[in-house]
Amino acid sequence: MFESLFTYYGRYSASFQSAPNRSIAAFLRRPASYYRPDERFAMFARNPLLFDLGGDPNRDPGDEAYIRGFILGLESVFSLVMVAEHFDESLVLLRRLLAWEPEDLTYVRLNARSQASRARLAGDLPDKARGWNWLDTRLYRHFNASLWAKLQALGPRCVRRELGLLRQANRRLASDCFGATGAGPPPALQASQIQDKELRPWQPGGVSILGYELPRNLSMPPSLAASCLRFITPEVPYSRRLLLKAAMRSRAQRRNKASLEMG
């Protein structure tokens, strides 16, 4: 995950920009030399998972009391912590927790980078990334183990059946929205290949983020087309629509309240 963050936010984080040639290898060789804890985007440069969850990313390595207490606090708040690396398995547990149908959990993978935009950490760099982000490493190891313990409690046969139901629902989604006949949607597109500007994902500098467009030769009811569009709309325009919808609802509620008071 840290490699992905470095790629996405390399142009924004002063810590990342301080590394020679904006190189993740150079940064990880001497992270303390380049890290600027007071910069605006410091949250991306060290223990970003813990930061997002409200923790202090700059705790000294080995502060066991802090990380143990933090994990206990998370467990008291969250019934389930999902792991992106094991997304389908996480959805199995979510479905049982919420008593949802498989169709409620279907998805299309968004924000994936093109293969050319990915860099594989080699040699000792993965260990250095884990050491620099030691708090995130502890979070991942704990909740990954917790996830698999819960799956083990369900039993392998049950998990296989649940995964089959989820993937079958995803195949139906791919067929309905894309006319796909395989296990999932067709290959994702480069942003330049997507004609609808609203469906083009954000492109950070030097990185190609892939997206989708609905086939123009596929006939479907308007309600299904609207649903399919929601699955492939990138987060920026999707969030914009949600905010606009919330603002319109708020204005309508204020007008109704004013009308009642006048009446």
Give the pLDDT confidence score for residue 11 in this predicted structure.
Answer: 82
Query: Tokens at residue 24, please?
Result: 């993740």
Per the CB < 8 A criterion, the answer to whether 74 and 92 are in contact is no
204: exposed, middle or buried (C-beta count within 10 Å: 0-12, 13-18, 19+)? middle
Task: Using the predicted structure, report yes or no on whether residue 153 has a pLDDT greater than 90.
Answer: yes
Query: Tokens at residue 257, please?
Result: 């309240």
Give the pLDDT confidence score for residue 48 in this predicted structure.
Answer: 95
pLDDT digits (tens, 9 = 90+) for 172-216: 999 999 998 776 778 899 999 999 999 999 888 778 999 999 998
Per the CB < 8 A criterion, the answer to whether 140 and 73 are in contact is no
Q: Is the dihedral of CA 16, 20, 25, 30 positive or negative?
A: negative
What is d(CA 238, CA 194) in angstroms, rounded to the nearest whole number?
A: 16
pLDDT digits (tens, 9 = 90+) for 206-251: 789 999 999 988 889 999 999 999 999 999 999 999 999 999 998 8
Provide the residue ranges of all domains of the chain, joining segments of one domain with +. Answer: 1-45, 58-232
Confidence of residue 261 (pLDDT cuts 50, 70, 90): low
* % of the chain with per-residue pLDDT over 90: 76
pTM above 0.85, yes or no: yes
What is d(CA 226, CA 220) in angstroms, rounded to the nearest whole number?
A: 10
Where is mean pLDDT largest: 117-126, 129-138, 213-222, 234-243? Answer: 129-138
143: exposed, middle or buried (C-beta count within 10 Å: 0-12, 13-18, 19+)? buried
